[in-house]
Amino acid sequence: MRVKRYVVDSMPDALQKIRTDLGKDAVILNTKEIRTGGFLGMFGKKKIEVIAAIDAANAKPAPAPQRVATQMPPQPKVNSQVAPIKPSFQSDFPDVPDVLAPVAMKSEPVAVSAVPQPERVMNPAGHQAYSPSSVHSAARAPVKDDQVMDELKQMKEMMKKLTQVTDGDKLPEPLQKLEQRLYDHEVNPTLVRQIMDEVMADFQLADEPVTEETAHQLVRSKLGEILQTDHSKHISTQTRVVHFVGPTGVGKTTTIAKLAAEQVLKYHRKVGFITSDTYRIAAIEQLKTYATILNVPLEVVFSPQDLTKAFQNLAECDIIFMDTAGRNFRNEMYVSELNSLLKTQGNSETILVLSLTTKYRDLRAITNNFSKFKLDKVLFTKMDETDSYGAILNVVHEFSLKLSYVTTGQSVPDDIAEMNEWQIIDLLLEEPRT
């Protein structure tokens, strides 16, 4: 292995010198800009430092010894020792200092051989012949050559890895399809990448090929780990009060009516209504209509102070559904008022109601704002009005909320059911509809 360092003004100059000295099979190992001359590191001239190398097996004799012979003065004794030398090994790399060489040493060093020399002779052109001590160091060159070869192999492996970074990031085609489907459902890209990395790690650990069937199974399993829990989605029989919170227009009142019908008709529990939604026109009338149909009592509270009396009036009810006003969740006054309304005695649940038609950026802000309350579950509405379900995965993963119900229409009491996470996962991974 021959390694040489060049300091040139431009890359064409470097290429010309490398071809001349090392041949066309030489490889450039490194290039960088440096400055030469100047004063205290300033006003230096820009140069290019080039490190090149060639395998010793492919190296051709460099013409440097002949140039030295022509530059030597007419001293037959010296020429007879220098000119016939046939270089067997040349390595300038170990002698290259970390800083620039003095200007006087711009000439390239002469290749050395294992032929003994009586003494080191400096010719007029600035080239030097090597003494027996330098020849002795050349005898140790094979050891250094092995080290250089090992380092060069490591460097090549590193460069190979760097050049394959882009290709390495590409997933197998079955996983690419599933990844794209998750993106189409607006699943958080960070979460998508995390899932794909885990799936690829599982494939590599099992040392199995990636097929469409196995890829689908593994991704489905990873999504199931995020959504599936062992808790009950329906309202517990031990729960006394259920608070429904959320932004405007998500369908809280209609959802309350659906759940109340389920409790009355299916579980035969006595239900009571409390509403604090006195801001929206006809909001009380809407809930009063549902209360009349289901034959359940209704209490209206205008301030947190009215809550005590309302609970006393509904003391005989098995469960109380409390409808809160849908207000701007960025309004701090509303948030403070709502917080005081949620302070109740006994077992209670707080369910956040979100619409799947809301873009996730807003859903994230809404959930983050309401998370200052003790949110127990999340309920999604208007599933029938969208074909994008990634928000469900995003909210559950980011805020660690439990799934409860999902609504699929406005019909009371039919269009509501417990969330089936595997159905959601299948919708996320199914082929897009044309």
Instruction: Annotate 313-364 with DSSP letters as a single string.
Output: HTTT-SEEEEEPP---TT-HHHHHHHHHHT--SSSEEEEEEEETTS-HHHHH
Beta-carbon contacts of residue 147 (< 8 Å; ≥ 6 apart) = none
pLDDT for res 143: 55
Residue 354 has pLDDT above 80, yes or no: yes
pLDDT digits (tens, 9 = 90+) for 259-285: 999 999 988 999 999 888 766 666 678
Q: What is the mean pLDDT of the chain?
A: 76
Contact 110, 128 (CB under 8 A): yes
pLDDT band with cut points at 50, 70 and 90 for residue 142: low
Contact 395, 366 (CB under 8 A): no
pLDDT digits (tens, 9 = 90+) for 203-242: 888 888 888 899 999 999 999 999 987 788 888 888 899 9
pLDDT band with cut points at 50, 70 and 90 for residue 160: low
Query: Cis link prior to 73 (omega < 30° from 0)?
Result: no
Environment class of residue 353 by beta-carbon count within 10 Å: exposed (0-12), middle (13-18) or buried (19+)?
buried
CA atoms within 13 A on the CB side of 87: 24
Q: Which of 29-33, 218-222, 299-303 has the highest mean pLDDT?
A: 218-222
Residue 185 has pLDDT above 50, yes or no: yes
d(Cα 328, Cα 338) in Å, to the nearest integer? 12
Residue 381 has pLDDT above 90, yes or no: yes
pTM, entire model: 0.59
% of the chain with per-residue pLDDT over 70: 68
* Tokens encoding 103: 């200007």
Question: Count of CB atoms within 10 A of residue 218's CB?
Answer: 22
pLDDT digits (tens, 9 = 90+) for 71-104: 444 544 444 444 444 444 444 444 444 444 444 4
Residue 152 has pLDDT above 90, yes or no: no
